[in-house]
A and B are shown apart, each in its own frame.
Chain A
Amino acid sequence: MSELVTVGQAFQQGMREEMSRDETIFVLGTDLFLRGGHFAQVKGLGPEFGPERVIDAPISEAAMVAAGVGAAMNGMRPVVDLNFMDFAFGAMDEIANQAAKSRYLWGKPLPLVIRASSGIALYASQHNNSLEAWFMHTPGLIVVMPSNSADTKGILKSALRGQDPVVFFMHKRLTGARGEVGGPDDLVPIGQAAVARRGRNVTVITSGIVVQKALKAAEALASDGIEAEVIDLRTIFPLDLETIATSVRKTGRALVVTEEPPYASVASEVAASIQEDLFEYLDAPVRRLTAAHSPIPHAPGLMEALLPQVGTIVDAVTRSIERWPSSEG
């Protein structure tokens, strides 16, 4: 058993190994060289690789991503670190209109990783936007959202060996979560979901930090004799619909849980896909359990009231089974 490392350390390990392997990789962002980023995600890499591989940038998100786009077009593999995903708003043209379209318009691969910490946590509305659906909606972007240390490191490696612009979501509240990680050549493929827990009565589809809540809910449901299968999407785009379908064909019931606002969300996309393709397998309507359609407030009690919780996941599954009992009985 390998040493347990945090998600932040897993990212840093992945960066170190890949930067050692490939000289064209560099990381660009604010407060990276000395501080190692706001989440210690590249801590120590500055002194180790020097200021040309760990580049401190002015707080100019548009310029940071533009630098990544132009450098990727000119033979490099940049990692642009925006610290908080919310700051991507300041670089939306560079991400959605430049990076995303290079391959389609010009046949020019754009191997760029845009990393940022995301998800719902402290500091209220302007630091707690859920942009995963925005990027999923943008043709040309890959969107990943690992839920643990091993996937963070392994997916980063795949991103740094791929040919696409990858938006890399790391949940703020997972930064310190510990887990095992793979070695230098253990890649986690992009576009493959993982089955985090096996079960036969209901499929709970989720990603990122919500995987932990879903697993706890599955534990609680198991004590009532309900076996929930938990799918960790890991990649938001391209969605692994095959893994979802395999599970839903077995369980006949699906609940999609995310902490984003509900309209035009990742949850909506997954739910629509299931009903469109697997209607005949379903015993019940596909349910979405998301955050409220609301900005995120500061007071912890207000914030938590908006989010899916272990209890609400359990309730949603229980109510579904009560109202739409399984056809096989």
Chain B
Amino acid sequence: MSDTPTATEAAGLEEIELRGVPVDELEEWLEAMLVIREFEESLEPLTMSGNQIPGSVHQASGQEAVAVGAIRALDPGDLVASPHRPHHHALAKGLTPRVVMAELWGRATGCAGGRGGTMHLNDFALGYFGSNGIVGAPLGIAMGAALAAKLRKSGEVCVGFFGEGGANTGRSWEAINFAAVQQLPLIAFCENNQYAVETFIGRSAALDGSIAKRATGFGLPSVQVDGQDVCAVYRATREARERAARGEGPSFIEAVTYRYHGHNTGEIANYRTDEEVERWRLTRDPIERLRRALAKAGRLDSTRFDELAENAREVVEDAIRFADESPPPDPTTAANGVTALPFDRKGPSSL
């Protein structure tokens, strides 16, 4: 390859190895990561305009390799639940940018009909058991789904994503202990992006090296991987999946990653330096690293990469157009479907 070195290469981009991965699928992984990046990068202005996405959202730019590496290691029928920073998981699991974008906009065509927004995405048919607004909660749901998978002998393996912030809530460890003692087909996946809102992990946890090490005390295999290396994430998840499928119970994976933007759109980040963000972008960007590794292996030239990047832009533009043109949900349905059993939803005065 005779591509000109990029800025990241010049800055000392750390290389990744393409071993232990289905190399023919890597271009699709890159494509998925590019779509996620483009999707996330589009959100800031849409949440700031005041008439597009209500409220702010949590972007996962920089964390693409975690979602794609982990979810590509699963079988299509496996189940995933994710926390408040979920778009990359949802998109990697197969939800279309259209239905996710429309949900963020609160439109009837969104994956939750406009009822959920960013923190309550879902598509049970695709095995996506929801994003969740409560720290640690999706791990519990994935654990319960894994219990059902074990009882029904369905063969499904369940992944509960949570952040390093979620590793400080009791319910996470309750779920992990339960899964370990019941030998459930669960992967407890800690996506350590190092900041819980504005709190650096070093200020919230007295760790002996890693969160993964903390997990070993719960009696399950545990590993820390480079979350900016999609292949490393894939290998660790694949191994955990195979273990679960063999009936050998749950695993814990900690992927060390980094979010390029603030906790939420519109945040002014004064809790970390621009140099720190720049260093992660230049030396460990997951898309650049995969791109470089594929190029080096002669599997991707710059023309093809440009095509993929252009396609990602079009896909996201289409999703925004779709959301913009979609109708809002019918206000007369706002209180529908609270319970299956009927009740007098207008209140007692309608007697």
A-side residues, CB < 8 A to B, are: 24, 26, 52, 55, 57-58, 60, 62-64, 66-76, 78, 93-94, 97-98, 101, 103-109, 139-142, 162-164, 190-191, 237-239, 241-242, 245, 269, 272-273, 276-278
Contacts and interface: CB of A to CB of B under 8 A. Distances in A.
Nearest to B335: A139
B144 interface: yes
B115 A66 contact: no
B114 to A, nearest CB: 11
A273 B351 CA distance: 9
A188 to B, nearest CB: 13
Interface stretch (B7-15, B167-175, B238-246, B306-314): B167-175
Interface of B: 79, 81, 112-113, 115-116, 120, 122, 124, 129-130, 132-134, 137, 140-149, 151-152, 154, 156, 158, 170-171, 174-175, 177-178, 181-182, 337-344, 348-349, 351
Contacts of A52: 151
Contacts of A104: 115, 337-338
A60 B148 contact: no
A67 B146 CA distance: 8
Contacts of B174: 58, 60, 62-63, 66
A142 B341 contact: yes
A69 B144 contact: yes
29 contacts: A24-B152, A60-B177, A62-B170, A66-B140, A66-B175, A67-B140, A68-B144, A70-B81, A72-B144, A73-B141, A74-B144, A93-B134, A94-B137, A94-B140, A101-B120, A104-B338, A105-B112, A105-B130, A106-B116, A108-B124, A139-B338, A142-B339, A142-B341, A191-B342, A238-B344, A241-B344, A273-B348, A273-B351, A276-B349
B117 to A, nearest CB: 10
Nearest to B140: A66
Nearest to B344: A241
B338 A106 contact: no
Contacts of B158: 70
B132 to A, nearest CB: 8
Closest 5 CB pairs of A and B: A70-B144, A66-B140, A273-B348, A238-B343, A74-B148
B145 A71 contact: yes
A107 B337 contact: yes
A276 B347 CA distance: 10
A25 B145 CA distance: 14
